[in-house]
Structure 1
Amino acid sequence: MSNVKTSNQNSKLKLVFFGNTKYSIIGLKIVYSIFPVSLVITIPDSPVKKLASELNIPTLETSKLDKEVINKIAKLKSDFLVVEDYGLILSKDLLTLPKYAPLNIHHSLLPKYRGPSPAPTAILNGDKISGVTIIQITDEVDSGDILAQQEYILTPKETRDTLLTKLNELGGQLILKVIKQYLEGSINPTPQDHSKATYTKHFVKEDGYFNINNPPQPEKLDREIRAYYPWPGVWTKWNNKIIKFLPPIRYPKQSEESSRSMEDSSLIAQNDRKDEHLLQMEGKKPISFKDFLNGYPDFPLKQLLRTRLF
């Protein structure tokens, strides 16, 4: 890897990185450690902007890829566009700009799970194996040629957060190999079998709701809790109050507290087990299922919550 980093060819590369979320940071760090990043495209005030500023990478903050943005990118005469957890579709005008290719890090083993939510969908479906795919971006979403793939075996307690973190780590390392193969002239694109394509969707709030009188089976509820946090979340209503079901979290050391993401800032350690789901009554702090049942002994789901999954 060190040979890649020090080559004169690499120092002259111009790479544009597109990303918006805390997971995009993972890939940006990995790519930047080896290849120069000339420009970062991100939405205003994103976690990616903060990192790019720390690394002194020029940043273009925008929520739309209009003609003005495209012209600014075109002036760079880029070699690669790298897209990771970005969320916006790149137009044909953008896709033709790089010398080598526009590349996307996708969180599934394509053609399975095209679309916006492959990682949580894998958890929802109880998949044992997920993975990451690097594709050349085309004007049809997630349909481009496969440039590299790597499998990942899900853990029994995998959450959306842990899975996306791992897949972005794998994807960042994998895209380094792909860029190197392009530079060496050894890249070998493989067309997707479109007949085997499956699709994921954008989740809406109602996806996480269930009627308290007709709850999911324990296994299904467990998967939904792990897949749906932080959006749309798993929730129900009881006594005119919203009850949220939250996944197990990794409790930070004190030194990590300041760097925790906003999306899990409400989940301060309320129980002693790191693998235990939490319940949150509307207007209250999250607590363990055991503590919740102690406080609300007439809660209708007490038998379900006492299963081995919880």
Structure 2
Amino acid sequence: MRVVFLGTPEFAVPSLDALYEHAEVVGAVCQPDRERDRKGRIIEGAVKRRAEELGIPVYQFEKIRRDGVETLRALAPDVMITCAYGQILSQEILDIAPLGVLNVHGSVLPKYRGSAPIQRALINGEKKTGVTIMKTDIGMDTGAILSMKELEINGDDYVGDLYEKLSCVGADLLIKTLDGYLSGEIIPVPQNDALATQAPPLKKEEAYLDFTRSAESVRNVIRGFGYGVCEFRDEQLKIYRAEAIDDCGENTAGTVVTAVKHDFIVACGSGALAISELQACGKKRMKTADFLNGVHVMPGEILRKFGGNR
């Protein structure tokens, strides 16, 4: 079976590895290399690096709908697999492989259609998520479902943790589903559009912490982004790890309640946030104890929404 794989970030690597062991992967299509390190050197995407290690030809198109059609046709795939590729495919491309295009999506569809399903699930405080294998159509994650697997979200899962778990679940589910799909045992089931929710790309402003919300809601933003941003002493402060705790008395939202040794507790609209890992402007990421060892924080000081009114 000839397969073309379309994916870009680390999330897609386990699926590529699983396909490589299971089929003839005749090409890997990735987004163009756009990221650069601090010295201006290009950072290659995770799928590109892995495909080159495996000896799989790599193709990168600025706009696949415009530039990739003839190349994909020449590869003559039986089926194409997408996983966090990052571009929308045209009907012309969807029609190239006789068995169509299957997609590995990081949610239980039809919930969280879009490019940020894992982050949105955490930000919204979901207790469960999962992976869906679907047959891609022209819409945004609207294709018929072939299989899905749910996964409990642990209370200590942050976006990196959940990415890793779901990427492995997705790779395993993909191979099982592909076998059933090819044999005709798995029949695509249309999604119920009435139950659909969206997972649009994240905007940086969504990481600006609003302490007037509940402590759990504030923490969920940190979990979903991998960090949250606020303002302390007129400078940016990033919070990477925190716990939501019970109310610490009557305090204005954003007020520092305790700042002693490893305890850095900030009042929220309800409950309080116990910060355990953070990064001050111009400093390295560090544990709270190390931060408080170098910065004398007084109870009553205020953490504000970044860019907000003073």
Structure 2 length-normalised TM? 0.79
- Please name the residue that 1:33 is paired with: 21
Does the 8 Å CA contact 1:100/1:182 hold for their aligned counterparts? no
1:291 is displaced (CA, Å) by: 2.9
Does the 8 Å CA contact 2:65/2:93 hold for their aligned counterparts? no
Post-superposition CA distance 1:239-279 (Å, at most 9, x none): 2321011148xxxxxxxxxxxxxxxxxxxxxx9xxxx8411
In structure 2, C-alpha distance between the alignment counterparts of 1:100 and 1:52, rounded to whole Å: 23
1:187 is displaced (CA, Å) by: 2.1
Q: Which has the larger radius of gyration?
A: 2
- Please name the residue that 1:221 is paired with: 218
Match of 2:4 among 11, 16, 20: 16
Amino acid in structure 2 at the alignment position of 1:228: F
- Please name the residue that 1:235 is paired with: 229
In structure 2, C-alpha distance between the alignment counterparts of 1:174 and 1:26, rounded to whole Å: 11
Per residue, is there more strand in 1 or in 2? 2
In structure 1, C-alpha distance between the alignment counterparts of 2:299 and 2:101, rounded to whole Å: 52
In structure 2, C-alpha distance between the alignment counterparts of 1:301 and 1:147, rounded to whole Å: 55
Measured at CA, do residues 301 and 71 of structure 1 come closer, stay the same or move farther in structure 2, by a change above 3 Å?
A: farther
Measured at CA, do residues 70 and 298 of structure 1 come closer, stay the same or move farther in structure 2, by a change above 3 Å?
A: same
In structure 2, C-alpha distance between the alignment counterparts of 1:216 and 1:300, rounded to whole Å: 20
Root-mean-square deviation (CA), in Å?
2.2
Does the 8 Å CA contact 1:42/1:48 hold for their aligned counterparts? yes
Does the 8 Å CA contact 1:77/1:99 hold for their aligned counterparts? no
1:224 is displaced (CA, Å) by: 1.5
Amino acid in structure 1 at the alignment position of 2:154: T
In structure 1, C-alpha distance between the alignment counterparts of 2:82 and 2:176, rounded to whole Å: 15
Amino acid in structure 2 at the alignment position of 1:23: F
Post-superposition CA distance 1:276-307 (Å, at most 9, x none): 84110011111112332343333568899xxx
Measured at CA, do residues 299 and 219 of structure 1 come closer, stay the same or move farther in structure 2, by a change above 3 Å?
A: farther
Does the 8 Å CA contact 2:81/2:102 hold for their aligned counterparts? yes
Does the 8 Å CA contact 2:4/2:28 hold for their aligned counterparts? yes
1:41 is displaced (CA, Å) by: 0.2
1:105 is displaced (CA, Å) by: 0.6
Post-superposition CA distance 1:154-202 (Å, at most 9, x none): 1110111111111111111111122112321222111100001011111
- Map 1:68-107 to 2 at 5 A: 68-107=67-106
In structure 2, C-alpha distance between the alignment counterparts of 1:301 and 1:100, rounded to whole Å: 63
Amino acid in structure 2 at the alignment position of 1:223: N
In structure 2, C-alpha distance between the alignment counterparts of 1:110 and 1:199, rounded to whole Å: 10
Does the 8 Å CA contact 2:209/2:221 hold for their aligned counterparts? no
Which runs of 4 or more aligned residues in structure 1 lie more than 3 Å from their structure 2 counterparts after TM superposition? 299-304
Percentage of matched positions with identical amino acids: 31
- Please name the residue that 1:259 is paired with: none
- Map 1:149-160 to 2 at 5 A: 149-160=148-159
Measured at CA, do residues 138 and 301 of structure 1 come closer, stay the same or move farther in structure 2, by a change above 3 Å?
A: farther
Q: Report whether the alignment pairs 1:244 with 2:243.
A: no
- Please name the residue that 2:269 is paired with: none
Query: Could you say what secondary structure the match of 1:75 adopts?
Result: helix
In structure 1, C-alpha distance between the alignment counterparts of 2:204 and 2:296, rounded to whole Å: 28
In structure 2, C-alpha distance between the alignment counterparts of 1:69 and 1:140, rounded to whole Å: 19
In structure 2, C-alpha distance between the alignment counterparts of 1:60 and 1:300, rounded to whole Å: 56
Does the 8 Å CA contact 2:103/2:136 hold for their aligned counterparts? yes
- Please name the residue that 1:50 is paired with: 49
Does the 8 Å CA contact 2:232/2:302 hold for their aligned counterparts? no
Query: Could you say what secondary structure the match of 1:109 adopts?
Result: coil
Query: Could you say what secondary structure the match of 1:126 adopts?
Result: coil
Amino acid in structure 1 at the alignment position of 2:71: K
Query: Could you say what secondary structure the match of 1:168 adopts?
Result: helix
Post-superposition CA distance 1:104-160 (Å, at most 9, x none): 111111011111111111111211111100000001111100000001011110111
Measured at CA, do residues 277 and 104 of structure 1 come closer, stay the same or move farther in structure 2, by a change above 3 Å?
A: farther
In structure 1, C-alpha distance between the alignment counterparts of 2:159 and 2:95, rounded to whole Å: 33
Structure 1 length-normalised TM? 0.79
